[in-house]
Structure 1
Amino acid sequence: MRRYLEELIVKDLQRKMVLVTGPRQVGKTTLCRQLMARHASAQYLNWDIAADRAILQRQSWSPRATLLVMDEIHKMKGWKTWLKGVVDGRPAGQALLVTGSARMETWRQSGDSLAGRYLAYRLHPISVREWCEAQGGSADEALDRIIERGGFPEPCLAADSEDADRWRRQYFTDLIREDVVEFSRLHEINTMRLFVEILRERVGSPLSLASIARDLAVAPTTLKRYLDVLQALFVVFTVQPWHHNIARAILQAPKVYFFDTGLVRGDAGVRLENAVATMLLKHLHFRQDARGKSVGLHYIRTKDGTEVDFALSEENALTHLIECKHSDTSPHRALTAFSARFPNAEAIQLVRDLRQEEQRGTVRIAAAAHWLRNLDA
């Protein structure tokens, strides 16, 4: 399956090193191999493979390779300084593609000595738009599949749901056993696993770490660290409440969603909300990475508990207010109220099962699958 970033990366490789980050098994290596097929001479080196690691340490890869792909090099000690030397010393005409996950994304956020030497993309799971463009079929069929299977390529493309379930069980086990150990002490793994299990049942709700900490008999600061690890590993992402004062927003409770909708435990409405969250984040990351836009994903909640699921912003101004419903076509009261407070933001109620789209006052009642089909990625 051709991924949505392929043509953009091909173009950018002609100018600078390209850095691609994303969750484990989201398709980074497959994307690299598809890009290599477009070059007469390409070389792929993975730090996890002993023979490749020796080549990387000696820097003895082919100077005639028109595309050099380096995977998982963030596991090398001192890799940032090392990579700077590789970028500055590579032969003219050699494109360089570097892929990685957690630690590399953390470094990208902080910036480093490679500033100005690379262009970066975040690869996301399959969305309604990407499925329709690559596989065909209707938007409704695509959304149903993503809600059931999640958007990671292997389970999403699997022949049947049993294969998808087997993949997910192994994926989750490996993630906790291997990746989390890199960030945590071994004796914490059981607590981390319990924390993830709790998060699976609290998707879409404001998260009280203090309450969960009491249940698990650990300090809230410990759970905050665990949450940071899970975000760094692209297991979950948080959505902060909208507030012009960013510091104040960070102090309020975030909502947590899973990159893999298949991990969510909840009813059809909760799973729809998580799927929408993943596709909104993909849409915004695409606008940031490919178009340089200053955009954000939030939610709105007042002290009395009135809430709208999502709010999109651009240049610190709200552009969209979004509420997710499985079948309810009556305009959500909070969405109507907030649309009056933010008249420049488009108010949309996304309904999974909808016979007819309509405009109800300031609120647009839209079919979820078709609206998601028109996102940027």
Structure 2
Amino acid sequence: MVFLSGPRQVGKTTAGKRLKALTKHYYYLNWDNQDDREKMIKGPKVIAEEVGLHQVRKEQTLIVFDEIHKYRKWKQFLKGFFDVYGDQCQIIVTGSAKLNVYKAGGDSLMGRYFLYRIHPLTVGEILSPLVGQKEIKAPKKISDKAFQSLYKFGGFPEPYLRKNPRFSVNWQRLRKSQLIREDIRELSQVQEISQLEMLATVLQEQTCQLLNFNSLATMVNVSAPTIKRWLACLESFYFCFKIHPWSKNVKRTLRKEPKYYLWDWSLVKDEGKRKENFIASHLLKAVHLWTDCGFGEYRLHFLRDKEKREVDFIVTKNNEPFFIVEVKSGNHTGISKALYHFQKQIGVKHAFQVVFGEDYVDQNCFKYRKPVIVPAQTFLSQLV
């Protein structure tokens, strides 16, 4: 089986439906549809009979189970269906939080599926939606209009394609409300929805920085342990993500709280923070896709030591440094001294100071072994 997991309204259902063009035998079931829901509750045999899995066919049937994570017994259903009919069909499962939450311990589906994480649109995907044979692509120019639209409206398909400020504001408000007041209320144990919504609003203002859980607890009027649980909940439903400090080979590193970013960078009002979140989202998509496609085990961290030297991001491959990134709003200063320091200390091959406001340069920035200043459009075009 293939699991497609990602945020609400990122395009999972659309992707599942478009797979129909790839096969003669296609069957789509959505848990939110009452008729489909009744069939799934009756069990795998009912689905198999309706799909016609007992018939001899030249091509296998492709079955899409959409939003099935809302079914309390979804794991048991899929396990039973796959174990009996898995060699007679291809199965795609799309959904949001639960597909990711239950990836860890106690997963009765272990060994039966591959997980692919679906992200909002990025520069690399707009330029070339196909995954190449290597992680890093050749540089390619994106139009200034497309780049600015992506930065302003975010990478979720509807607001990006419409490019309408009023629609974007309404879409953001409705998505946030549905996420918290419908998805989280229905599928989690959180009861204090209004306070959780307050925490989500605070996160929009405090993205890109270390969070003080005690301070957040005071602001939201709950305990610090509750704040940690709620942050984990918001993560599992793809509202935010966190990155931890990288400590391997870093002298006098600070092992403190992680930094948090939003999946929808258009919610971040501060321009400097939005630029950093924009780059963070691109890097997270890269490490997820490279990992999911089998290039290696990639992770995203940041660098910080007790002397307060800091670099915004480090991407690791198989637990070794791959490249580091410092984000700047403009090219008004020289290269950050921290880039030189950490490149030498941890022995990372590539060190980039990614700047906004500079024109695209048609050069492969990954050919450089010393710290370099690179336009955001150039750097991001080489990712996914």
TM-score class, shorter-chain normalisation, is: 0.7 to 0.9
Gap change, CA 1:68 and 1:361, over 3 Å in 2: closer
Q: Could you state the TM-score of these two structures normalised by the residue count of structure 1?
A: 0.88
CA distance in 2, matches of 1:352, 1:238: 23
How far has the Cα of 1:95 moved from its partner?
1.0
Gap change, CA 1:215 and 1:304, over 3 Å in 2: farther
1:222 equivalent to 2:226? Answer yes
Would you say the 8 A contact 2:141–2:377 is kept in 1? no
Would you say the 8 A contact 1:132–1:139 is kept in 2? no
Q: Deviations over 1:232-261 (max 9, x none)?
A: 001000010001399x99961111000111
Residue 379 (structure 2) aligned to one of 352, 371, 377: 371
Would you say the 8 A contact 1:324–1:350 is kept in 2? yes
How far has the Cα of 1:204 moved from its partner?
0.9
SS at match of 1:37: helix
CA distance in 2, matches of 1:89, 1:125: 35
SS at match of 1:201: helix
CA distance in 2, matches of 1:48, 1:228: 25
Structure 2 unaligned regions, length at least 5 = 54-59, 130-139
Would you say the 8 A contact 2:156–2:264 is kept in 1? yes
CA distance in 1, matches of 2:254, 2:157: 33
Gap change, CA 1:244 and 1:265, over 3 Å in 2: same
Partner of 1:63: 52
CA distance in 1, matches of 2:93, 2:380: 30
1:263 equivalent to 2:275? Answer no
SS at match of 2:380: helix
Would you say the 8 A contact 1:146–1:275 is kept in 2? no
Give the residue type in structure 1 aligned to 2:211. Answer: L
Residue 190 (structure 2) aligned to one of 185, 188, 193: 185
Partner of 1:5: none
Partner of 1:252: 256
Partner of 2:167: 163
Alignment of 1:301-340 (within 5 A): 301-329=304-332, 330-340=334-344
Would you say the 8 A contact 1:105–1:232 is kept in 2? yes
CA distance in 1, matches of 2:145, 2:337: 29
CA distance in 2, matches of 1:45, 1:74: 12
Alignment of 1:1-377 (within 5 A): 17-58=1-42, 59=44, 60-61=46-47, 62-64=51-53, 66-90=61-85, 92-110=87-105, 112-133=107-128, 138=142, 140-181=144-185, 182-186=187-191, 188-244=192-248, 252-267=256-271, 269-329=272-332, 330-355=334-359, 362-375=370-383, 377=384
After superposition, the CA RMSD in angstroms is 2.5
CA distance in 1, matches of 2:283, 2:211: 20
Would you say the 8 A contact 1:132–1:142 is kept in 2? no
Would you say the 8 A contact 1:43–1:68 is kept in 2? yes
How far has the Cα of 1:305 moved from its partner?
2.3
CA distance in 2, matches of 1:286, 1:250: 29
Give the residue type in structure 2 aligned to 1:76. Answer: Y
